[in-house]
């Protein structure tokens, strides 16, 4: 069995129109990926472990129970009796594109590394085949904790644990673009697999084309690169610099693009952890994302992707 630890934050999600029809669920970029990865994987082959901190309140506990129902391992979810989960509101336009409002500055996940039981989580991380985190995983942490986590990942990478990173750049979560670049530059030499989106690379680094993004990441020491380009598909570049473009099938019924990239990552990682060819991994990512964007919310009904278990495994 391959074991992957996914580090991040899950929040309460409010979705709909303010002062109109609205429903409550949960989500967060890394939790979305963990959920879809667990749903499309055979639990005997891939063990998905979520690493975060949550509150002791009833709502937090109910969210954890939902993760367990998706066969996500939650033994490294720490409980903070003094804080709760963050909250975000999604508003959609007529094209399915979304805008977000967040209330997360004092969420339990922000203080994950300061939790008294976090050293036990560190021990668990050393048992993993892969550790996955995102730019948001780093953005929400106090600056000293960002560097502490990177130092821990450096030690784990030296022990053979593969570090996977989705840059997922959200400017409002960072002090400045310069600080984001500083943190990412410190992390990238440790990264075995980068799953990045070209729109984010343009926003953060000012890249003019995908080739520039790939070249910069290779120069920073990233071994394997997946550059997601939405309806244009994905570009994969391996350690030797070999590149491959993988097209995607256009989706005409786009309802909500909220977790498209997170869903792609889940499908890709299912293939990658099973040693499938890069083209197959990208195709799996496109399949999962293509289904998810036809439904509302970050986490859709599990029946929508149930058929992929037999296809992927």
Q: Distances in Å between the alpha carbon of 114 and those of 26, 53, 121, 145, 148?
A: 24, 10, 12, 8, 11
Cα–Cα distances in angstroms (integers) from residue 280 to residues 61, 215, 229, 267, 274, in the given order: 37, 23, 17, 10, 11
Look up 93 and say whether it is catalytic: no
Element spanning 115, H or E: none
Residue 92 and residue 66 in contact, taking contact as beta carbons nearer than 8 Å: no
Give the other-Cβ count within 10 Å of 4's Cβ.
26
Provide φ and ψ at 124, rounded to 5°: -65, -35
Catalytic residue among 57, 123, 262, 310: 262
What b/e sequence results for 261-299 when a residue is b if at least 16 CB atoms lie within 10 Å of its CB, and e otherwise? bbbbbbbbbbbbbbebebebbbbbbbbbbbbbbbbbbbb
E-assigned strand segments in 135-174: 162-166
Report strand pairing: 77-80 vs 87-92: unpaired
Q: What are phi and psi of 47, to 5 degrees?
A: -100, 120
Q: Smallest Cα–Cα separation from 308: which of 121, 127, 40, 101?
A: 40
d(CA 41, CA 61): 24
Q: What does the DSSP 8-state code read for residue 73?
A: B
Annotated active-site positions, please? 262
């Amino acid at each position: 069995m391959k074991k992957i630890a996914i580090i991040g934050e899950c929040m309460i999600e409010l979705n709909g129109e303010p002062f109109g029809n609205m429903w409550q669920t949960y989500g967060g970029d890394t939790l979305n990926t963990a959920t879809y990865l667990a749903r499309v994987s055979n639990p005997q082959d891939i063990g998905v472990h979520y690493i975060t901190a949550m509150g002791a309140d009833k709502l937090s506990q109910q969210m954890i129970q939902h993760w367990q129902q998706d066969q996500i391992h939650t033994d490294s979810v720490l409980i903070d009796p003094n804080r709760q989960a963050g909250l975000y509101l999604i508003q959609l336009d007529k094209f399915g594109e979304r805008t977000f409002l967040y209330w997360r500055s004092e969420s339990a996940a922000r203080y994950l590394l300061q939790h008294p039981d976090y050293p036990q989580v560190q021990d668990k991380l050393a048992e993993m085949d892969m550790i996955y985190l995102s730019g948001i995983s780093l953005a929400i942490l106090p600056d000293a904790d960002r560097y502490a986590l990177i130092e821990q990942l450096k030690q784990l990478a030296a022990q053979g644990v593969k570090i996977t990173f989705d840059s997922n750049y959200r400017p409002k979560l960072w002090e400045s673009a310069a600080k984001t670049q500083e943190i990412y530059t410190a992390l990238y030499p440790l990264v075995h697999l980068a799953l990045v989106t070209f729109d984010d690379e343009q926003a953060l680094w000012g890249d003019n084309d995908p080739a520039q993004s790939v070249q910069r990441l290779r120069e920073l020491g990233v071994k394997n690169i997946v550059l997601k380009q939405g309806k244009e598909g994905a570009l994969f570049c391996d350690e030797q610099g070999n590149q491959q473009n993988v097209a995607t099938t256009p989706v005409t019924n786009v309802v909500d693009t909220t977790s498209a990239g997170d869903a792609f990552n889940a499908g890709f990682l299912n293939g990658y952890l099973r040693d499938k060819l890069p083209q197959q991994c990208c195709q799996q990512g496109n399949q999962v994302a293509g289904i998810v964007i036809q439904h509302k919310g970050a986490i859709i009904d599990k029946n929508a992707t149930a058929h992929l278990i037999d296809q992927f495994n």
